[in-house]
Structure 1
């Protein structure tokens, strides 16, 4: 058998999936450009510096790349061993966020923890840790998940606690992403169809009840169904987003020329970034963004399938979970921006402004690169 160093030299030109790397870099670069365009007006007004949000995003992106470089040197097996402990840690952090004086509130939502300018949105880390825990659980209890009701009741009890903590912030969007990602993973693990349908119906029913139980959520739901009925009240954000879509046409009105970002469309650089993309880059720009995300998700799922074929089941479920997370959040974000789904606070992964989001996303990408790297080494018989 060839030596380890010789094998590494043989695989060196193809250590990682080039299409995966291409899609990630393209999404991040395009996201920086569009986030800067969407935030330049509000940044100039609030901070007296047109590129404040760009500089801050670049700082977090740099920190994320540095953290990702460290994560890439960790074997995937470490995540499997620490999955339960990490989930307990993030649940504790979710509880601490709700304590007055510990958690920080913005726009009525207590989602941040930290001190002064150094705050972190715990719900972003929760998505990451839930995928790690679920991947390990599905490996350890795969037979039970496939054949017994208890196999999926146990993790749903834990997810119920997490969902309760998230809803107390409140963060309904993160609750939807975490819950649907976990359900998708259990389905891919081979859960019986009748069990999955029953559980899926129960979860959807519970989310529907939660959605209409709070007055502000009910208002968002009804405004989504007919935003033009109250265009200057509950339907304001969505109507402004739809105007942006209408102005964009086929090719858009041009980069940097959006009218809606000039204090008409709230959260233009975060939750409604896709609306600015639609206005400035048009239908062609929207298709490019969707194609890049589709390419990214497909490559991630191919990583997961390859890992499972190599007997690396935890790595496979981990990749599937991250792929589902990106696909669900991206789909919901586009649905919200275009009026197909109720208005929720979900950003475009790797594109929208947000320090916590970009940090966690960088770590996720690093873990995926490690999975792909270990897949290739396993195929060579040196891991």
Structure 2
């Protein structure tokens, strides 16, 4: 049986990880020197994250997909437990008003990232087991909606609006691709959009972000500060950039540029050409994931197909939101750029998702889903 992972998946993902290491190193040097007296603090930690992500991906790749199909409910239960634990005072760690992290010694775990993968695996298995109900009956559609509501509620209590949007969006996308009735889908989708709108206007800081998005230059030193600094970074980059390491905006103009706004620094240092190159890698990777999903569908392997579609939705949703926020296309919202942004849990989960897709492709090449 072939054991070499599909290069169409591996090459663009590896390129994004390596570019992410370069971008994080460049964007974090001054910040790390000021706060940790070590210019390479974030770069070295990210190397540890890369090693952990590679190890987890290798384990996931070696596990048959049948295991994930039969244990999806258990992973979802674990994710919900972690989402509850992070909210308990004294257990969860609060940063900048949000309680999203579980401390594990010198590192932290972000349960919302685990929830994304757990929801994909659970929904994929559910839609295979309950295919007729999902496509033809209300209860088949509403049961996963109840689970999704529980996860959404826990995410919003943290609060983590960005993760909520990605989890809800990917779940709705998977259900739509599973063939739910259009009337059922549109009715519940309208309700979900209405609920998201209420969540936006219910918090003053979200309203402020939305107002700043419409005209960031109206208040460039307060609500519009991050966006204006990000736009300045894009403007400085012009066609070919200032050169790696030569960003001006990372010098404490753009707050914590190595996390949510790493794409802005990349665009400043490599220009429009570098930014389009990174976008091209995402297009290649997501396109290949969708191709594997289509191949799984043609091979009568619905679980594999649904997992691939869910992974593609998460990758594309996060990349679109992160890049859209950085360039002013979308309101400011903290969300990592897959494979590129600094963050251990995000990188590990992204690599685990990729390993699942690679395993699905391997099983299809081997001539059967149970390989």
TM-score range, shorter chain: over 0.9
**Correspondence list, 1:153-302, <5 A:** 153-302=142-291
**Which deviates the most, 17-26 or 322-331?**
17-26
* 3-state SS of 1:359 partner: helix
Q: How does 1:133-144 map to 2 (within 5 A)?
A: 133-144=122-133
How far did residue 17 of structure 1 move? 2.0
Superposed, 1:3-152 pairs within 5 Å as 8=1, 11=2, 15-152=4-141
Distance of 1:323 and 1:233 partners within structure 2? 35
Unmatched 5+ residue regions in structure 2? none
CA distance in 1, matches of 2:49, 2:284: 25
Note the C-alpha offset of 1:240: 0.4
- What secondary structure is seen at the aligned counterpart in 2 of 1:191? coil
What is the Cα deviation at residue 312 of structure 1?
1.4
2:93 counterpart SS class? strand
Q: C-alpha root-mean-square deviation of aligned residues, in Å?
A: 1.4
Number of residue pairs aligned between Structure 1 and Structure 2: 371
Structure 1 unaligned spans of 5+: 1-7
Q: Distance in 2 between matches of 1:230 and 1:35?
A: 28
TM-score norm. by structure 1 comes to 0.94
Superimposed CA distance per residue, residues 179-230 of structure 1 (whole angstroms, 9 cap, x where no aligned partner): 0000000111112223222222221121111011011111111111111111
CA distance in 2, matches of 1:93, 1:40: 32
Secondary structure (helix, strand or coil) at the match of 1:72 reads: helix
- For 1:302 and 1:16, locate their aligned partners in 2 and report how far apart those are by CA, in whole Å: 15
> How far apart, CA to CA, are the structure 2 residues paired with 1:75 and 1:115?
29
> Whole-Å Cα distance in 2 between the matches of residues 348 and 124 of structure 1?
12
Whether the 8 Å contact between 2:26 and 2:245 is mirrored in structure 1 is yes
After superposition, the Cα gap between the structure-2 partners of 1:382 and 1:91, relative to the gap in structure 1 and judged at 3 Å, is closer
Matched, 1:354 2:354: no
Pairwise mapping of residues 293-312 of structure 1 onto structure 2 (< 5 A)?
A: 293-312=282-301
Paired position in structure 2 for 1:372: 361
Q: Once the 2 structures are TM-superposed, how far is the Cα of residue 149 of structure 1 from its aligned partner?
A: 2.3
* TM-score normalised to structure 2 length: 0.97
Q: Distance in 2 between matches of 1:119 and 1:283?
A: 34
Structure 1 residue 382: Cα displacement: 8.8
Matched with 1:4 is none
Report the more deviating stretch, 55-64 or 364-373. 364-373
Q: Partners in 2 of 1:139 and 1:306 — Cα distance?
A: 17
